[in-house]
Amino acid sequence: SQTIHQWPATLVQPVGSPLSLECTVEGTSNPNLYWYRQAAGRGLQLLFYSVGIGQISSEVPQNLSASRPQDRQFILSSKKLLLSDSGFYLCAWSFTGGIGNTIYFGEGSWLTVV
Partner 1 sequence: AQSVSQHNHHVILSEAASLELGCNYSYGGTVNLFWYVQYPGQHLQLLLKYFSGDPLVKGIKGFEAEFIKSKFSFNLRKPSVQWSDTAEYFCAVNNQAGTALIFGKGTTLSVSS
Residues making contact with partner 1 (CB under 8 A): 32, 34, 36, 41-46, 49, 57, 59, 90, 94, 96-103, 105-108
Identify which of residues 51 and 53 has a Cβ nearer to partner 1 in the complex: 51
Identify which of residues 57 and 63 has a Cβ nearer to partner 1 in the complex: 57
User: Looking at residue 72, what DSSP letter applies?
Assistant: T
CA 70 to chain centre: 14
Letter string b/e over residues 82-109, b meaning 16 or more CB atoms within 10 A of that residue's CB: eeebbbebbbbbbeeeeeeeeebebebb
Identify which of residues 17 and 39 has a Cβ nearer to partner 1 in the complex: 39
Name the minimum Å distance from CB 24 to partner 1: 16
Name the minimum Å distance from CB 34 to partner 1: 6
Identify which of residues 17 and 95 has a Cβ nearer to partner 1 in the complex: 95
d(CA 66, CA 76): 5
Name the minimum Å distance from CB 71 to partner 1: 18
**Whole-number Cα distances in Å, 111 to 31, 38, 47, 54, 76:** 25, 11, 15, 25, 12
Name the minimum Å distance from CB 25 to partner 1: 14
